[in-house]
Structure 1
Amino acid sequence: MTVVHSSTKSDRLPPGPGIPHALQGLGFSFARKWTIRQATRRCGEVFTLSLPVFGESVIVADPVLAKQVFMANPDEVGNISPNLSRVLGPGSVFALDGTDHRLRRKLLTPPLHGKSIKNYERIFEEETLREIQTWPEGSPFETLEPMMRITLNVILRAVFGADGAHLDELRRSIPPWVTLGSRLAVLPMPSHTYGRFTPWGRLAAYRTTYDEIIGRLIDAVAADPDLDSRDDVLSLLLRSTYDDGSSMSREDVGDELLTLLAAGHETTAATLGWAFERLSRHPEVLDRLAAEVDSDDNTYRQAAILEVQRTRTIIDFAGRHVYAPSFELGDWVIPHGYSILVAIAQMHRRDEDFPEPLRFDPERFVGQRPSTFAHIPYGGGTRRCVGATFANVEMDVVLRTVLRHFTIEPTTEPAEKQHFRGVAHTPKLGGRIVVHRRQAN
């Protein structure tokens, strides 16, 4: 692979691989992590690629440059397009930029942090206990789908405030919609859906069903005489107002609830699936977790979660778009209209920040943290995942609950390969493990 450098004077673009643009696009579409690794090896930690959908792009795998991208003025380097708002709706935080984005995040932050999270821990544990009741002992089974059910039910209860018929309706309608939407999110969007027999037509039908259900749910919650004492996110959003006293529209509330589900359901479940896959292949880590689990300490468990996120990065890039006439990125000048993609998975493999990066070792996160922009599973800057704290506590409680009730049998099976589901990278075999129920003391 030869390396091609830009020859323009006004713009100073990083080098790029000297292969046809069509091959660059194919590599990114079908073997993204491998393509980024190869290009990084040959071109360095910042390079150009020509990509489908995103167009001419600069790929960044350097934490210093990533910080510059994430901390840039959003009027100059803002929301990438296309993004998940095509699936989630124009009221989604993914669709907003600048002041509108900042105000929406300010509204969303309280329900997903601090005291609110403590209120949700009971839901995290209840849903885990409900799911693990039927786990088989002594024979392999997949953990990914059980984790999908746990995280879906958690969000429907904690975020949507759904119960009874509403919970059942959303549980049936949302999973196929999210699965389809994640696969279509980064594909070119047709001008027409061409009916329910096409993927985009089915997506539109799912949305219609969702809007009907969520409309009834909003009406029911708004009419609840105990609305002021409810702690689900929907109730908090209905009670919240912007600085000028205005509140979110019903349409925006529906889009935002769906955003929180789409951003937190599959990604959290995928991370937990990988956690079981990784832990079952590292008995020394399992032993330390088992020794810790009956105490109130979660230092090592938190370190293990961070290491899973590093070694099996679920969302492998975060994107921005250059809206200014040009943007200075280190020694380079990126022209208007370019996309900038921060290669999160590649940054998590840097020797400088993570010695022996292919080794799974939670100890590297015990009592120490890498620089802020070296480990970024939730992205960074003003568009960092607003539900990061929610997801982190949920994963901690789920792992704690499982380990308090089961021992996980170590395995010498090869590591599971990664499977790309459209947005998240999941264990190809579903994170298979063998468990045995712990004996009560």
Structure 2
Amino acid sequence: MTLYTANSVAAESSTVGRNARAYAWVVFALMFCLLLSDYMSRQALNALFPILKVQWQLSDTQLGSISGVVPLAVGVLTLPFSLIADRWGRVKSIALMAALWSLATLGCAMASSYHEMLVARIFVGVGEAAYGSVGLAMLMSIFPRKLRSTVAGGFTSAAAFGSVLGVSISGIIATRFGWRFSMALMAILGFALVIIYCFAVTEKRLAHAHPVEAKAMSEHEQVKLTPRALFAGLFPSRSVFCAYLGSALQIFIQGTLFVWLPSYLNRYWGMPVGKAAVAAAGLVLVSGLGQFLCGVVTDRISGDSSLKRWNMAIAYCLMLGILLAIAFRLPPGNLQFALLAPAVLFLASSFGTCSAIIAGATPPGIHGSAFATLTLFNNILGLAAGPFVTGVVADAVGLQGALRWLPLAAVLPLTVYLIGRRCHIAEARRG
């Protein structure tokens, strides 16, 4: 009888464990799809620039502003919204954020002027502001520590796939049914996922999915740091500041190319809007693949050496600048595209190098805040500034002229990386 009871308890425990793991992966799939929807809503408008430029008689500065305002809002609001979500509840916060960015995307579809579109895009950014950090924090609470890298890498990869899908699907649909329908479709997808999420994800179910990790996360969140101590932890040295800044300056180039490539291919290659969107989406996909490969190569070469990570950051940035300089000096054609493809492999290489440098130099207890700070730098100085500044330059010298000057922007992160490497060596000698 005792043996039977023990076996029954063991079998029941095993069943509960399997159910918890299965539920955790269901939540992962929903969170992945929501992040996919997030970036589809964010990037879909970029493929519509040629249409809006003609229909509303917009300047390139205006086009750059309605794209750049989303990452600007994300960068400004990421930290405060993440703090609010941790106190109010992550499950409810995520549902509210997804509903807001979907509603704002529907507002984009209904906009009748530049200013209405700008306001709608601001609210897209407000809705998306803290989703990445809050969503990842929630996933970390229901998966064991041994799967954290897998979960983090898989979850954030949705950004690249969402960018590709958003640009390509939006361009194709816009040419057949009109640009408003393409934006409305992004909104409908978001609303559908919110409904499924609200039925499937609850605080109670999350607590049962992996109670040990959930308890540890809860206890960790109760620890409060003074603003001064938090700032000191986030910026412990000059080299760490250089990692934040260098990453953002390199993302400036990425943000510019992601936004303006469809328009460049349309204007100077003579590609139809749909075809230009698909070609640009292909380059974005290559960039996502490069982000993963650069991370793998950096880990293989660097090991535990932060100095080698600085060396890899410098090498990647140098390759990016050289390949872009050659590509944009060539006339539009297959050879130019053949050089753009390897160039974009290095666009997002800073994620693998700078993130590891920051993680190695900041306390583990505030890594979430450290990566939120990196997101703030990347969004404001990179993703928001890149499209806008390039739009201003394009109004003065033309888009082709602006992109020909873009490789010079690689000099800035390269210089910061060199300074960061020098600071790291000096700090290591003092320490």
TM-score higher than 0.5: no
TM-score range, shorter chain: 0.3 to 0.5
TM-score by length of 2: 0.33
Greater strand content: 1
- Greater per-residue helix proportion: 2
TM-score (norm 1): 0.32
